[in-house]
Amino acid sequence: MPLTQLEPDSALILIDLQRGIVDAVRSQVESVLGNAAALADAFRRTVVRSCW
């Protein structure tokens, strides 16, 4: 299901996407990192508060 709208009280939690995770999705690493970056960008534009 695609995410098309962010509610003002939404939260985004990204886990550390380093060696352990990236190794597990090696064949799809560009897609996984691209999706994570796209979500982070969407939250920065939409959600009032962000914590990193």
The Cα–Cα gap between 25 and 40 comes to 19
End-to-end CA gap in the chain: 26
Token pair 């990236």 in the structure block, residue: 22
- For the chain, the domains span 10-47
pTM of this structure: 0.63
Sequence-distant (≥ 6) Cβ neighbours of residue 10 within 8 angstroms: 43, 46, 47
Q: How confident is the model over 29-43, as pLDDT tens digits? A: 888 888 888 888 888
Q: pLDDT for 1-51, tens place per residue?
A: 466 777 777 778 877 777 777 777 778 888 888 888 888 888 888 765 666
